[in-house]
Amino acid sequence: MIELAILASANGTNAQAIIDAANSGKLDANVRVVLTNKPEAGVIERARKAGIPVEIIPSRGFKNRREEYDALVVEALRKYDVDTIALAGWMRILSPVFINAYGGRIINLHPAILPSFKGHKGIEDAYAYGVKITGCSVHLVVPELDAGPLIIQAAVPVKGDMETLEAQIHRMEYRILPQALQWFSEERILLDGKHVRIVESAEECKKTDYIEGCLVSPPLEEKI
């Protein structure tokens, strides 16, 4: 079981996927707090409806003061005794202050197949480039932007317009982010340099590596 904090800056659909997975028993996590840097973020109402405490720490005015802002965030999170951090649409680059506080226990969701199309416009950049396959990635956070070891990725074929692609990528995000957190909860993530290895489950489970026309690696798991 992990004691989880979710950091989100916008509507919070990925936060909702985590909350739903925890409530349904698919994810062994206590979501202790949702923290946002945007007072108007939709994730606030989602958390409150779920009965989860919310911390709102506006980031306006901290553009070139990342360490100072992150110190405030870390101070807030310590009140909830969290041990794992999920960045689910967190639109800020973490400073060493944050990474040193929770090193090795911070995961980020990125809407592209890393290491391609880093940055906050992953979907738009991939579509504009004309790729035939893009997707989403969950990775461990390191000081370099979108450069941490990869835990799980989903490959999404590009069909239709960008809005169609965006919707399909989001559907895969809702699958792979809770899965990565569950592997954390089961202590099955082993790190060897830049390589993440998922230890085999002690319980029998169904593995799915192809879903809704998309390839997922490592496969999604469902306990039997």
Round to whole Å and give the CA distance between 11 and 76.
Answer: 21
Q: Judge whether residue 36 has pLDDT over 80.
A: yes
Q: Judge whether residue 223 has pLDDT over 90.
A: no
Domain range annotation of the chain: 1-103, 110-224
pLDDT in tens, 173-206: 999 999 999 999 999 999 998 999 999 998 899 9
Which residues 6+ apart lie within 8 Å of 88 measured at CB? Answer: 6, 7, 8, 12, 14, 15, 18, 109, 177
How many C-beta neighbours within 10 Å does residue 193 have? 6
Fold agreement between 1-103 and 110-224: yes
Which pLDDT belongs to residue 224? 76
Round to whole Å and give the CA distance between 12 and 111.
Answer: 14
CATH homologous superfamily, domain 1-103: Formyl transferase, N-terminal domain (3.40.50.170)
pLDDT in tens, 45-104: 999 999 999 999 999 888 779 999 999 999 999 999 999 999 999 999 999 999 999 989
**CB 173 within 8 Å of CB 17:** yes
CATH no. for 110-224:
3.40.50.170
Q: What is the mean pLDDT of residues 148-165?
A: 97
Q: Which residues are catalytic?
A: 110
Helix (H, G, I), strand (E, B) or coil at 180: helix
Q: Judge whether residue 27 has pLDDT over 90.
A: yes
Round to whole Å and give the CA distance between 104 and 191.
Answer: 9
Helix (H, G, I), strand (E, B) or coil at 218: strand
Alpha-carbon 156 to chain mean position: 17
The pair of three-digit structure tokens given for residue 105, joined into one six-digit string = 């226990």
